[in-house]
Copies of this chain bind each other. A is one copy, B any other.
Amino acid sequence: MLNDTLTAVPRECGDCPIRHRAVCARCDANELEQLEKIKYYRSFEAGQTVVWSGDQMEFVGSVVKGIATLTQTMEDGRTQMVGLLLPSDFVGRPGRSTAAYDVVATTDLVMCCFRKKPFEAMMAKTPHIAQRLLEMTLDELDAAREWMLVLGRKTAREKIASLLSIIGRRNATLNLSDVTGSVVFDLPLTREAMADYLGLTLETVSRQISSLKKDGVIHLEGKRHVTVPDFDRLLAEAGDDSDGGMLA
């Protein structure tokens, strides 16, 4: 079954769906050819752990398809999600040998991997890669800081609204549609994963979603399919005047 997934993945960088957004975005044809030589695809099933915190990192890479989470765990089991990895996002840190976080596949996942050593060697010779990685890292830093405001200062209701607006906005970006008026999307996370992202308990997440539903801010079909009739209303509930956290 893993092969089915692999078959769906492009063999050539030219066909790659994340070609223009990933760490390789700035590479020219020649550089891409070099990358082709050291890349390989790996597939993971939903729920599988991609990397364990503290383990040796033998590769870095990009998410091609699916969603993964970056989480930290305390000894007593308290868990905090510190990043949501979407297609084109980069995993791993050049120059560091062990992983600092758990990476877990939330959905079935395909990654484009590079063995760490050759990648680092290539990065040193190829400014285009380092430049793009810097740009992506600065974006992630902004997203992390945006999230610090959510975690530190927002109420449970605002936290949920913030998460929904981020997911909604991202979906709109991918579909190239406007975030005006009504927005529809599927939640890629369980209530528990949402709780881990928001620094809440899953019960509180559930209650606040019910409350937003009751107040007509969102509609639900099943547990995952969300309709936001008025996106500005959602943003107001999130405590953001205009555009709050852009995550990816």
**Roughly how many angstroms separate A147 CA and B74 CA in the complex, as a whole number?**
13
Q: Nearest B residue to A74 by beta-carbon distance? A: B239
Q: Judging by beta carbons under 8 Å apart, are A72 and B127 in contact? A: no
Given B76, B137, B144, which contacts A148 in the complex, CB threshold below 8 Å? B144
Q: Nearest B residue to A78 by beta-carbon distance? A: B153
Cβ of A100 under 8 Å from chain B: yes
Q: Nearest B residue to A196 by beta-carbon distance? A: B152
Cβ of A80 under 8 Å from chain B: yes
With contacts A100-B142, A144-B145 taken as known, whether A95 is within 8 angstroms of B135 at the C-beta atoms is: yes
For the residues of A in contact with B, the DSSP-based class is: helix
Contacts of A32 in B (CB 8 A): none
Cβ of A133 under 8 Å from chain B: yes
With contacts A133-B134, A137-B137, A140-B141 taken as known, whether A149 is within 8 angstroms of B239 at the C-beta atoms is: no
Residues in A89-131 with C-beta less than 8 Å from chain B: 93, 95, 100-101, 127, 130-131
Contacts of A153 in B (CB 8 A): 74, 78-80, 199
Interface flags, A143-184, vs B, CB<8A=1, else 0? 011111101110000000000000000000000000000000
Cβ of A16 under 8 Å from chain B: no
Interface flags, A60-101, vs B, CB<8A=1, else 0? 000000000010101110111011000000000101000011
Q: Judging by beta carbons under 8 Å apart, are B152 and A80 in contact? A: yes
**Roughly how many angstroms separate A101 CA and B207 CA in the complex, as a whole number?**
33
**Roughly how many angstroms separate A82 CA and B245 CA in the complex, as a whole number?**
14
A-B contacts, 13 of them at CB < 8 A, read: A72-B145, A74-B149, A83-B145, A95-B138, A134-B137, A137-B141, A144-B145, A144-B148, A147-B148, A148-B148, A151-B152, A152-B198, A152-B199
